[in-house]
């Protein structure tokens, strides 16, 4: 049975954090004990091990920097798409005012329900049924919106009015796929495996140096391991906006929903 490409992103956020910390602390302890066993190692070997550990730590810093930058870039893209979607919904609601009754009210009622579904789509992935329902509801309302636009194609509607409605409706519908694609645009899970492997290797080399130098205090090594783990968790949290602490937010859609409800008929 093939493994799903997004299997990593279906794991519990807390479980991944726990495993990362365990791996880093285990690497730290293993490196330290191996260093204790090599206290009689010549200075040349210690220098070589320290240099190798420093090089790996530098590589880790470079990888973490690039990974955090890419994760923040994806987070910002998701945020911009929500703003774009809110603007598209608001624009179509305003242009609905160009229509007469009952089309105007029908279109705004459909947009109110649609905005509620888009807000629900920003919820947690811990509730897959709710997210699936929000997506299906959004796609159903697309047909309702387009039905109103089609019925507006009557002789009393000018070409300019009809053209503006069609463009605005297309903007709302097109934003749907952009939103879905942005939610699935994660960093490759292989990148996190690489980061964790390099991080574990770097702290293990550092711990080996402490052990070989007969340094009994483990606090500096543990603090470094926890610091690296914290950066890894930050990258993962930004990259999983529907699972972690750092969320994209749907404030723009909430304001649009209030704006639609206050528009005069």
**Predicted local distance difference test score (pLDDT) of residue 264:** 55
Q: What does the DSSP assignment read for 211-225?
A: HHTT----HHHHHHH
Residue 74 neighbours by CB distance under 10 Å:
16
Chain centre to alpha carbon of residue 91: 27
pTM, 2 dp: 0.83
- Give the C-alpha separation, 67 to 195, whole Å: 9
CB-based contacts of 134: which residues, under 8 Å, 6+ apart? 117, 118, 120, 121, 123
Cα dihedral sign, 186-189-191-196: positive
Query: Could you tell me how many helices (H) and strands (E) the chain has, helices first?
Result: 8, 0
Domain residue spans in the chain?
A: 7-262
CA end-to-end distance (rounded Å), the chain: 56
Full pLDDT tens readout for the chain, 265 residues: 333 446 777 777 778 888 888 999 999 889 888 888 877 777 777 788 878 888 988 999 999 999 999 999 999 999 999 999 999 999 999 998 888 888 999 999 999 999 999 999 887 777 778 888 989 999 999 999 999 999 988 888 788 888 999 999 999 999 999 998 888 888 888 898 999 999 999 988 888 888 877 766 777 888 888 888 889 989 988 888 777 788 888 899 999 999 988 875 5
Question: Which SS3 state, helix, strand or coil, does residue 203 take?
Answer: helix
8 A C-beta contact, residue 231 and residue 68: yes
């Amino acid at each position: 049975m093939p493994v799903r490409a997004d299997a990593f992103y279906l794991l519990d956020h807390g479980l991944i954090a726990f495993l990362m910390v365990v791996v880093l602390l285990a690497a730290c302890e293993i490196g330290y004990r191996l260093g204790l066993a090599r206290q009689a190692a010549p200075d040349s070997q210690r220098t070589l091990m320290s240099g190798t550990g420093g090089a790996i730590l530098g590589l880790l810093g470079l990888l973490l920097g690039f990974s955090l930058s890419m994760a923040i870039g994806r987070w910002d893209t998701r945020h911009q798409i929500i703003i774009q979607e809110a603007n598209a919904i608001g624009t179509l609601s305003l242009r609905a005012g160009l229509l007469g009754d009952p089309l105007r009210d029908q279109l705004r009622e459909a947009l109110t329900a649609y905005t509620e579904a888009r807000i629900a789509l920003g919820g947690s992935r811990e509730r897959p049924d709710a997210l699936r329902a929000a997506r299906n509801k959004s796609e159903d309302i697309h047909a309702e919106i387009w039905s109103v636009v089609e019925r507006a194609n009557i002789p009393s509607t000018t070409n300019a009015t009809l053209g503006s409605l069609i463009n605005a409706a297309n903007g709302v519908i097109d934003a749907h796929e952009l939103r879905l694609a942005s939610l699935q645009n994660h960093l490759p899970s292989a990148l996190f495996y690489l980061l964790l492997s390099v991080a574990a290797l770097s702290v293990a080399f550092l711990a080996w140096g402490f052990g070989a130098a007969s340094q009994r205090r483990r606090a500096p090594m543990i603090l470094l391991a926890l610091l690296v783990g914290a950066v890894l968790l930050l990258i993962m949290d930004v990259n999983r906006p529907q699972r972690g602490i750092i969320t994209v937010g749907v404030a723009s859609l909430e304001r649009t929903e209030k704006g639609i409800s206050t528009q005069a008929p």
